[in-house]
Amino acid sequence: PSINLMEYKRFERQSLLKYGRRDSSYGSIVTECERTDRAISLSLTEMVEQGYRVISARDVVLPQDSGFLSALQKFWLISPLSNAIRTTKYTLWTFFPKNLFEQFHRFANWYFLLIIILNFVPQIQAFGREVSMVPLLFVLSVTAIKDAFEDLRRFRSDREVNNREVLVYDWDTEQFTSRLWREVCVGDFVKLCINEVIPADILLLHSTEQDGICYIETANIDGETNLKQRHVAQQESDTLSLMSLGEFQPAVFNGAIYCEPPHSKIYDFSGYIVYPDGKRIPVNRNNLLLRGCVLRNTEAAIGIVVYAGHETKSMLNNSGPRTKRSKLERDINSEILSSLCILLVLCIAGSIGTGVWTQHRFKPYIPFLPKDDDDSPALEAFIRFWTFLIILQVIIPISLYITMEIVKFIQVYFINWDVDMYYAATDTPFQCRALNINEDLGQIEYVFSDKTGTLTENQMRFQCCSIGGIDFPHQLKDELDGLQEVLQSQGTLKKQKITKPDKFCYDCDLQSKISNLVKQNGLTEEDDSCLHEFFVVLTICNTVVVSRHASNDEKASEPDDKECEASFNMDHLSESVLSDVEKLLGHTNINDIRYEAESPDEQALVEAARKYGYVLLARAPGRVVILTPQRGVVEYHVMHVLEFDSRRKCMSVIVREKGTDQVILYTKGADSAIYSFLDHHSGLKFGKYSALQDGTTTRASLTQAQLNLYARLGLRTLCMAKRELSRQEYDEWYRTHHDAEVSLSNRDELLFESYITIEKKLELLGATGIEDRLQDGVPEAIAGLRQAGIKVWVLTGDKQETAINVGYSSQLFDEVMDIIIVNATSEEGCRELLEYRVKELEMQAGIESASSSASSLDTGFIMAAYTTPIIKLAKSKIKPKPKTDLSATGPPKALVVDGATLVFALQDSVKGLFLEVAKYCKSVICCRATPLQKAQVVQLVKTKLNAMTLGIGDGANDVSMIQMADVGVGISGREGMQAVIASDFAMGRFHFLQKLLLVHGHWCYSRLARLILYFFYKNVAFAVLLFWFQIINGYSGSNPVDGVNLFMFNLAYTSLPIIVVGVADQDLRSEVLMRDKSLYAQGRLSQIYTRGKFWIFMLEAFYQSLVVFLVASSAYHLDVIGLAEFGFIINISIVFTVSLHLAIETYHWTIANHVVLWGSLIFTIVFNLVYCAIDTRQIFIDTYQVFIVTASRGKFWFILILIPFVALLPRLIFRAVRQELFPSEVLQARALEKEDQMYCRCLSKTAHINTTPVEPVEPVLFSQIQANNVSHDNGT
């Protein structure tokens, strides 16, 4: 995009300020803004040289590598400071050279360019020079046109975006004036209005909302439709109030913004604002408005541009569609090398034949050959080598790539149009985001899945809680009591089925205790304090936003009907409390409050707290207001929010209640994290609660027992804790924490260390159990994938007990499985435990003899099991019987690894053993897995086992796993669209994965594998046919087929039929594939496309071409025919032969197949009749009227029938013998499918005679046929 002259002059005038100039003497950055009197602890020069940028009201200083000269040279394209974007790959001047450069990265294009060059050498030339250019020009042109249309679409989109308007502060008029997006630069002040799209990454400096808050919708970034809260940076200087409700004046802003260089991490931003008095105010992602987001529920907001154009986070993440290469496409390279070897062998054989013939020919007896005593056999052989290279060029299938792209493109549309994978509840159709890995769906061996939101609904429901060691089971009392009895009586539990109600139900005991608090009008005992603090944690320790504009905004979330069936009772609220609520909200109806939460867990907890009278009324930067049953409206000053991260597995808030000086840390997180932070030396004992157990039982042990019960019921568990901080403790911590906040280097690590420093010596308050229901169809889908031989791994952040329960309910585990649970406390213990497990499994599989007993092991690990015993030692030696699938040996096994053990298992010294154990298991669950560990597990299986992997998830924490897998699938769920954006395929529900793999994956693999084999076969057959002709032609390099027909063979005669087969052929109907999942093994084990089958097809190509040559030459042996006439005969014959070969290999005949196949054969005849009626005056072969004469003879039509029959007879015999004596599972399925169809037709005929209803016959699974060793024949 161009920039007008006025804008260019302004840039040029300020360029030295914005970029600085290089001082050759000292090698430092010198700018005018460095000469100001600002008190900055770190010099501007040092900051810029470290890579940071400094932005003030009028000046922008960039790092040294964005120097003024280089930026000025690039200015007319895209300036680093400009907000203009360009996503196009080409310009009008660079399209042809750049596109050709990219296309010639393919080896095949270079090969055919070499053929064209060789054909221009007179001594080597085999046919017309112009004709030799047709194949390459056709391929290059088609690809260039496709690229041009795609780039034109991007250009129009860029133009539309760059020409949007926004209000920018004009320093001359001191007013906000309208300007195009592409004219916005870094350092400009921008004013945004409600519902306006944000044009750049802007640091928020002012908002019309109270407390400097604004609301944005990030759907364009991460797909999440719930509103996010952003706020002005906390102001500690008294010289300027950025949160003032008055009109903001950019000219008054006298701070300098120090921020990090642009990067692609959307949820990461660090920097600080420095004021003239030396104060530094930290800024983070909560102060940044990202390009592409929409301002909601806020009248106006003003900020300064820190990143513009291609430096914005959205553009840095917009890398376009990721390019992946499928497994079949990678295998094509080896087959092309094989074809090249065949080509070289033929060329070398032909050149040797030329040399021998030239040396031994008898010129006196061949009067039509020129006499030349200087003929050198070696030179003639060398020249003819290149001639044969030109003639036999068709052996390399140049059109294969284009054909595959066309077939895959159409396949994608058919998959997208499958209504069975359309999720109507959210109007979510299936999306194929990657266009070139369709066939990989049919070869998946391992599926790695997230749990929350992927297998479950991600609709959290509060079910029960434990407060101060007392269990409040709510509606699960009977289930929990029954479960505890089972555990006490048996000591183990394999599976527990319960029925959880949909509606929220109050717990009578808990409601009674809260009512007593209201009556007492205060906290009288420690028990009451624990109860109160527990609900305070639920209410304020979160990032939930109160959406006060829900009634006016279409984007505001609506409450869950079932969750709100139990409403908050406001009868006990006094008039003064209602008056305070009305002042804050503008109304008194507590139940009308709507919450916007980034996490469904947080929303469920806040909603549950509201049911019991603890209501979140307002949240703003630095404060939170809640309503409590006994104290009314209470305001807290939020001093710090310690955000959640996957390493700490918790989040905390540091608050101070208004009117008091007590600083309190409230923490919420996973039990494994909270328990490690507890003050175990406090010896917590508590009043009347101790009557439940003996006096030495602590609150922590009671709560842990209840957590285990919750987890065994499949509930998600969280622990609540607090810590009261003295002023001295807080001040000491704050000094180091503030340094971490304003640090621009290693900030994340410093903040992490700061967090764990304060999150210790915690007092446990209680725990919660939240249910996340399985999606409909998940158990059936997982069972189907397992029946197909696919190993399913679930990588979850839940507790081990919760994960195991979900494993049973989702049919990841079943009753007959042996569950191997690996829990270790050290890396050494983990290694020894895995070694022991490997030996046991090898013994059970019969791979090696029994090893020493486990009693001698001193491992220092914890062994746990749900079944008795998990693995039984073999009593006698078993003869070795190795199998490819180790998980098929012995009883089915499953592996469960907890979070701590997973850390050890992924170490270099242990991961090999971990993988050995996992290979014996059909299902694996990894608990407490972080996003990085998920990716590491996928990478381990993918690289070490060389297996095809699929990753499926729904949230940002699954992106690394999805991108690491060979195929990534994103679920359009409640955690946004991050997973969808990073995925290759996107869908609305997990159970769609079953049909995607078992049906569409099977079809795509089968079609494309046979397409590739057919392409190599037909090209080799045609090329070898031309070679056979050289034997009777003195190896002269003469080509019997003219140049036009030579190239029409691939471009027209044989191209369309294979495209139709690649798009629409079905070896089995979808109902059959879904009924018998074992048929998926054909693709999973790569049974169609193998090296052996490739060479079988090559042998067929040699045989069939030899048949064509011998029959044709024998039929016309005594006739006088010319070179061109013989060329037409063998050319038409080979076209008919390879086309009928495709007809034999076609499983599912449609109208399109008949029209295209027989139409192509008719087109071949008609085209040659028309072509020979035109006097083309070719150099080597005169085709004028030749085919017309040839077709007028009956012999031609006779051999046109005879040749395909003789050539294809072995193929027909082979197929008949295989189908009758050695049928594969697919052939058996096809035979039974035909019988079912015949049976149904018989039933329909007899229905008119006998009206008695006939019970349908249950279909037979083909795996049962194999199990019963039943052979199938026509009489069955």
How many angstroms separate the CA atoms of 266 and 313, rounded? 6
How many angstroms separate the CA atoms of 386 and 125, rounded? 9
Q: Tokens 């746990």 — which residue? A: 864
1012 with 332: CB under 8 angstroms? Answer: yes
SS3 560: coil
Give 145-154's long-range contacts (Cβ < 8 A, gap of 24+): 147/89, 147/90, 147/99, 148/90, 148/95, 148/99, 151/88, 151/89, 151/90, 151/95, 154/87, 154/88, 154/89
Which residue out of 59, 201, 222, 450 is catalytically annotated?
A: 450
Ordered strands of the 470-472 beta sheet: 470-472, 456-467, 763-774, 716-725, 663-669, 650-657, 632-645, 623-628, 615-620
How many angstroms separate the CA atoms of 889 and 871, rounded? 13
Contacting residues for 549 by C-beta, under 8 A, at least 6 apart:
215, 297, 556
Q: What is the dihedral of CA 919, 947, 913, 930, to 10 degrees?
A: -100
How many angstroms separate the CA atoms of 1026 and 1021, rounded? 9
How many angstroms separate the CA atoms of 436 and 965, rounded? 15
Side-chain half-sphere CA neighbours of 883 within 13 A: 14
Q: Which two tokens stand for residue 1000?
A: 């569409």
Contacting residues for 56 by C-beta, under 8 A, at least 6 apart:
33, 187, 255, 256, 257
3-state secondary structure 161-219: HHCCEEEEEECCCCEEEEEEHHHCECCCEEEEECCCECCCEEEEEEECCHHHEEEEECH
How many angstroms separate the CA atoms of 109 and 142, rounded? 13
1 with 84: CB under 8 angstroms? Answer: yes
Contacting residues for 159 by C-beta, under 8 A, at least 6 apart:
1
Q: Which residues pair with 986 in a beta bridge?
A: 431, 970
1220 with 1271: CB under 8 angstroms? Answer: no
Q: Which residues pair with 213 in a beta bridge?
A: 231
Q: Tokens 């250019």 — which residue? A: 133
1142 with 1057: CB under 8 angstroms? Answer: yes
How many angstroms separate the CA atoms of 342 and 1020, rounded? 9
Type of residue at 687: G
Q: Which two tokens stand for residue 1174?
A: 């035109």
Q: Which of 763, 790, 603 is nearest to 685 (CA)?
A: 763
Does the annotation mark 450 as catalytic? yes
Contacting residues for 598 by C-beta, under 8 A, at least 6 apart:
224, 226, 228, 543
- Within 10 angstroms of residue 756's Cβ, the number of other Cβ atoms is 16
Angle of CA points 530, 536, 539, to nearest 5°: 145
Q: Which two tokens stand for residue 696?
A: 């030495």
Q: Which residues pair with 289 in a beta bridge?
A: 202
598 with 534: CB under 8 angstroms? Answer: no
How many angstroms separate the CA atoms of 1099 and 1210, rounded? 11
Q: How far apart are the first and last CA of the chain?
A: 73
- List residues with catalytic annotation: 450
